[in-house]
Amino acid sequence: MFDFDKDFGSKLFSDTVMKQRLRPEIYEAVRKIRDEGMAWDPAVADEVAEAMKNWAMELGATHFVHWFSPLTGTNSGRHDSFLDGSKDGKPIIKFSGKLLSKGESDASSFPSGGLRSTFEARGYTVWDVTSPCYVMGTTLYIPTAFAAFTGEALDQKTPLLRSTQAVNKQVVKVMNLLGFDDIKSVMPTVGAEQEYFLVDKEYYSKRLDIKITGRTIFGAKPPKGQEMCNHYYGSTKDRVRDYMRDVDRQLWELGVPSKTEHNEAAPGQFEVACVYSDANIACDHNQIVMNILRKTSVKHNLACLLHEKPFVGINGSGKHDNYSLATNTGENLLNPGENPEENIKFLITLAAFIKGVDEHADLLRLSAAVSGNDYRLGAHEAPPAIISIYLGDYLQGILNKISLGEDAHTEEHHKQMNLGAKVLSSFELDENDRNRTSPFAFTGSKFEFRMVGSSQPIGFVNTVINALVAVSMKEFAAELEKADDRIAKAYEIVGDVYKKHGRVIFNGNGYSQEWVKEAEKRGLPNINCTIDAIPMMIKPENIEFFAKAHTYSEAECHARYEILMENYVKTITVELNTALEMVNRMYLPAGAKYLGKLAEGNHFGYKTGVLCQAAIRHQKQIAKLVDEISEYTQKLTASFDEALAHSDKMEQAKGLYFALRDDLGALRKAVDTLEMYMPKDEWPTPSYTDLLFYL
């Protein structure tokens, strides 16, 4: 039984633990470093390191690791023991402030996008004191930033911390200009919803495509998918429930506030969601969640799939990034309050989002650009590739009235819902419905960015959101500083933003073709695939934007472009190589072998005079499919080789994209059709029915 009072955060070097184990003056010094950006004092670092080491060793830790997220999107770190030699046959245990605060890694082994030559290896990891350390297994994990010897960021965390700093500065400035002097700090807060699939480990181990790429490259549709809608929020099987409880226990011990879990829309698909945390910590938490989901599945003889589209024909997996802004006074600046038309803090914050999202929709789209997401976005299961904001008619009506200079006050807007049964209490209706087709939807007191892929770290996503809010607020502050009546000016800014950027607001069905046409009329970008999104990183106006937000340097923008392009090329190359291996070594031999059995049987029928016309037709159909598969394999091989022959990465990426979409698409159709003609025991890989329904 999990004891929340005793066990929650029991493996986290939390504020409570620091207060217990550090002298008051040392704790206060750490607090100032964490909360006020004070510089590290080596003496303080040494005392903190000693306390942290003792605490971790009491929990069974023997090693420590500077844990960071390089631009591969994975979790990385080098494990070092607390052992620092021996004397007279006895161990010397040492962990200094220097080891805690800074580490060194071989930066040449991680992608740098041309920031460093391969022979220039030195890179640094620097403790992020705002994200608590924790013990997992026998290791003390120290969240760190990762930078090159020359100072450029090589990770997800550093730009996020920069953008968080920018948001705090600019939003506080605007609020103070409006007379809210009690607001001294503003922190972006995030709650991430993580979707994933579970499959039986036995079937997973027999699928080369899932093991290598995370998705099924081949697989005929099962007789039943999600069309009955009976999996969503349905009863969770005991085996999965046990797995979920194990995941929860581990997350809670690390102080990760996982709260909601349920069956998702597709068979075999599930979701876990965490309570809001500061954006930086929430990003670390999501990395921990993904790690524990995968690791724990092995213990339960399962495999956890985080790919955006593991199976065709049913919903893929995304990650909803729920974002809001919290002040030191305990307010959420995205809370409209009872009368939003009178809440200038909310209105000016809302205007910052509308302006920023409209001006930088391409960067928001880029933040959700990963090859797996190309299978989902716009496919009537996820938001379209067109960025728009959903506000609901009520809030949009208020903004419209403000823009026209009209009185925006509404007397009656709090409606009661009565379901007609006396035993059921009535309740106040929300001001707006939820729009699941909107990629950036306002859902009451937060924005929900629903486009992010399930496998993606959320550092870059929230860096972009922070940056667009910060730059908007910076421009608002410049206007407010010149005004005599700043409140009146703020309303004027809100109205002007709606006039200029209201085109990005859309409350209708984002799945419809009518919206695609309407968006084009409005001039909204429709970036359909990852290779079209990646160049947005190095558009001159976007480089200038990131510089204004103090988030990425020009060199870092170009580096990320190179890394994103290289990752795409490598990912698709692996998928195509896997497809060719499976066809040449599994599916073609299986088809030829079964064809031989049919031919032998039909030959015996000719000899005995007992002919089965159905068997003859079956043999001809399979022979036709085997020939088609062989032909499509040759075409895929040729287009694959042609794509890789390009020296330019963008040309490579384009060639691979079309080889994947067109040639592999045709090959897959033939292979999947052949699967439906083959006996189950003659087919070399588990079917969709095995993978999706045998949990």
- Look at residues 526, 511, 492 and name the one whose alpha carbon lies nearest to residue 390: 511
Could you please state the CATH topology (level 3) that the domain comprising 568-693 is classified under.
Four Helix Bundle (Hemerythrin (Met), subunit A) (1.20.120)
In this predicted model, what pLDDT tens digit does every residue of 588-629 receive, in sequence order?
999 999 988 888 766 655 556 556 777 788 889 999 999 999
When pLDDT is cut at 50, 70 and 90, the band that residue 101 belongs to is: confident
What is the pLDDT at residue 347?
A: 98
pLDDT, averaged across the chain:
91
Q: Which 8-state DSSP code applies to residue 222?
A: P
Question: φ, ψ for residue 417 (rounded to 5)?
Answer: -105, 125
Q: Which 8-state DSSP code applies to residue 455?
A: T
In this predicted model, what pLDDT tens digit does every residue of 618-659 receive, in sequence order?
889 999 999 999 999 999 999 999 999 999 999 999 999 999
When pLDDT is cut at 50, 70 and 90, the band that residue 154 belongs to is: confident
- Look at residues 644, 633, 658 and name the one whose alpha carbon lies nearest to residue 582: 633
Q: What is the mean pLDDT of residues 28-46?
A: 85
Q: Which residue has the tokens 């091989």?
A: 637
In this predicted model, what pLDDT tens digit does every residue of 268-321 receive, in sequence order?
999 999 999 999 999 999 999 999 999 999 999 999 999 999 999 999 999 999
What is the pLDDT at residue 608?
A: 63
Domain ranges in the chain are: 4-153, 162-412+428-552, 568-693
- In whole angstroms, how far apart are CA 424 and each of 418, 421, 430, 433? 8, 6, 18, 21
Contact 195, 317 (CB under 8 A): yes
Q: 162-412+428-552: same fold as 4-153? A: no
What is the pLDDT at residue 605?
A: 58
Residue 265 and residue 225: Cα distance in Å, rounded?
10
Could you please state the CATH topology (level 3) that the domain comprising 4-153 is classified under.
Ubiquitin-like (UB roll) (3.10.20)
Q: Which residue would you say has higher pLDDT here, 409 or 668?
A: 668
pLDDT of 325 above 60: yes
pLDDT of 37 above 80: no
With pLDDT > 90 as the criterion, what percentage of the chain qualifies?
A: 74
With pLDDT > 70 as the criterion, what percentage of the chain qualifies?
A: 94
- Look at residues 551, 550, 549, 571 and name the one whose alpha carbon lies nearest to residue 560: 551
In this predicted model, what pLDDT tens digit does every residue of 536-572 receive, in sequence order?
999 999 999 999 999 999 999 999 999 999 999 999 9
- Look at residues 68, 82, 81, 75 and name the one whose alpha carbon lies nearest to residue 124: 68
Could you please state the CATH topology (level 3) that the domain comprising 162-412+428-552 is classified under.
Creatine Kinase; Chain A, domain 2 (3.30.590)
Query: What is the model's pTM?
Result: 0.94
**Least confident residue range of 4-8, 160-164, 383-387, 469-473:** 383-387
